[in-house]
């Protein structure tokens, strides 16, 4: 049983997130903001006032939290840059491009409307550092509850900086090589959330027809939850793509930092294949460069990257861990199985606009449908994720490891075991009390027998809640 108080529960591995107003609200935002400011000053090794960008999503509670965060920062002497309502990638771009000391984005990402939260970044010589469990979140938690010990300072200001998304689109066009694109029909379901902002702006700069679904910003999410990992949220988009004979579909999440692609047949394109597609294009320009992918599904992107002479590095799951690894390796690009995509040229942060452009560029240059490109790139079959509520996750992982002594074992993130023609990943969730199983086999393999055996082992050894 979770014995943490509501205040303690909201500090997660990657961000701060909880139900409004019980767990997070404008009152608790004040000590949280002071703790964030203290951490940023500490990590940047300065006592001088900082310049902090603040963005927010369209949730009903975001204006009140924004007001509390901004007012507190001003009282601490900060120069606050008000970005308005922006997607999280647009927020990242603003902080990175303008060299701000740090940033606070008020959002609960893909969570339902009763949630809200805070994402935090700071500058560094190699790009943005995301504040998570390994980069300072525990300090923020401690100082939020115990007090940060900061005094008010005169001289703080708030300055509005609107329209950053226009600059972001221009930067994405540059990353993609300013491609000449065919006119495609594209359906996008924005789920009444922030992806609508950058998709609409992008289509002012490229040819084609945009068919919009749920583009009206609404923090109550009247259409459906803005979480494309839940496949039921994609059904209407898949149908619409086929009905209107579109070339592809787009499904961003609530704060726009994840994006799923739907092919012209209405099929969901695995993010690992999108990673491989974009990596292939970037490696044409950046010979021998490093590309990263998280440990869940690696067979397709790893084979593509290595075929082209690049280096493929496997990371732990989670955007803050991936960003850290990009800083460490100097990688040019990273793709995560949950459809987060990261570019060195955006400060190692997520950016979805270049993803759209590069996919359209490949379709244009190859003269192929998206499903045909996917079939050509596919090097493996993926199981999809299976989740188990077990009380003894470590024991289960050890038991599974013992069943496959001939495999190559990695304990980078849980347990992954690799063979010549298949692999498994078994890990605990960073955000929920779950044990997660992912399996992949090579293109000629049978995934069902592996799945049945592994699920059987988990049921045999697991103590279920």
Contact criterion met (CB below 8 Å) for 360 and 202 = no
Q: What torsion, rounded to 10 degrees, do the Cα atoms 60, 63, 69, 75 define?
A: -150
Opening angle at CA 214, ends 209 and 215, nearest 5 = 65
Longest Cα–Cα distance of the chain, Å, equals 67
Reduce the secondary structure of 3-71 to three states and give it as a string. Answer: CCCHHHHCECCCCEEEECCCCCCHHHHHHHHHHHHHHHHHHCCCCCCCEEEEEECCCCCHHHHHHHHHH
**Chain center to CA of 424:** 22
Out of 61, 62, 70, 109, which one is annotated catalytic? 109
Contact criterion met (CB below 8 Å) for 400 and 426 = yes
Distance CA 281, CA 178 (A): 13
**Chain center to CA of 383:** 21
Contact criterion met (CB below 8 Å) for 332 and 286 = yes
Contact criterion met (CB below 8 Å) for 16 and 126 = no
The tokens describing 210, both together, are 């945009």
Pairing of strands 333-335, 341-343: antiparallel
Is 371 part of the annotated catalytic residue set?
no
Q: Is 362 helix (H, G, I), strand (E, B) or coil?
A: helix
Helix, strand, coil: what percent of the chain each, to 5?
Answer: 40, 25, 40
The tokens describing 39, both together, are 């951490």
Residue 228, CA distances (Å) to 163, 236, 248, 256 in order: 26, 12, 15, 11
The tokens describing 376, both together, are 């050509």
Which residues are catalytically annotated?
Answer: 109
């Amino acid at each position: 049983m979770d014995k943490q108080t509501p205040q303690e529960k909201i500090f997660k591995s990657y961000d701060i997130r909880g139900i409004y107003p019980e767990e997070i609200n404008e009152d608790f935002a004040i000590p949280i903001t002071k703790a964030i400011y203290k951490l940023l000053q500490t990590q940047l090794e300065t006592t001088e006032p900082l310049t902090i960008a603040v963005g927010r999503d369209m949730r009903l509670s975001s204006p009140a939290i924004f007001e509390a965060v901004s007012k507190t920062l001003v009282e601490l002497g900060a120069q606050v840059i008000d970005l308005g309502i922006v997607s999280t990638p647009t927020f990242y771009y603003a902080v990175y491009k303008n060299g701000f000391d740090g940033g606070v984005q008020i959002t609960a990402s893909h969570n339902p409307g009763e949630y809200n939260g805070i994402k935090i970044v700071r500058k560094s010589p190699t790009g943005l550092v995301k504040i998570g469990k390994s980069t300072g979140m525990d300090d923020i938690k401690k100082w939020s509850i115990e007090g940060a010990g900061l005094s008010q300072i005169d001289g703080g200001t708030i300055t509005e900086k609107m329209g950053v998304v226009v600059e972001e689109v221009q930067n994405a066009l540059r990353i993609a090589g300013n491609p000449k694109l065919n006119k495609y029909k594209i359906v996008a379901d924005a789920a009444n959330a922030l992806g609508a902002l950058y998709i609409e702006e992008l289509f002012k700069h490229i040819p084609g027809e945009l068919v919009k679904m749920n583009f009206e910003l609404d923090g109550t999410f009247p259409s459906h939850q803005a979480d494309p990992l839940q496949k039921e949220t994609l059904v209407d988009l898949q149908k619409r793509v086929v009905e209107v004979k579109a070339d592809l579909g787009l499904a961003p999440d609530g704060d726009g930092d994840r994006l799923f692609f739907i092919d012209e047949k209405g099929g969901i394109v695995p993010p690992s294949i999108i990673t491989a597609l974009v990596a292939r294009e970037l490696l044409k320009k950046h010979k021998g460069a490093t590309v990263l992918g998280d440990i869940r599904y690696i067979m397709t992107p790893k084979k593509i990257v290595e075929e082209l002479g690049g280096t493929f590095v496997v990371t732990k799951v989670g955007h803050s861990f991936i960003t850290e690894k990009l800083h460490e390796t100097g990688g040019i690009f990273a793709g995560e199985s949950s459809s987060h995509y990261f570019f060195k040229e955006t400060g190692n942060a997520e950016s979805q606009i270049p993803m759209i452009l590069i996919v359209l560029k490949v379709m244009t240059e190859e003269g192929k449908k998206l499903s045909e490109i996917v079939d050509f790139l596919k090097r493996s079959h993926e199981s999809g994720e299976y989740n188990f509520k077990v009380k003894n996750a470590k024991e289960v992982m050890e038991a599974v490891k013992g069943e496959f002594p001939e495999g190559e074992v990695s304990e980078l993130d849980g347990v992954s075991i690799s063979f010549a023609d298949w692999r498994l990943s078994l890990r605990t969730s960073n955000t929920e009390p779950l044990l997660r199983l992912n399996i992949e086999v090579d293109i000629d393999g049978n995934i069902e027998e592996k799945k049945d055996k592994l699920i059987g082992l988990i049921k045999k050894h697991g103590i279920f809640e």
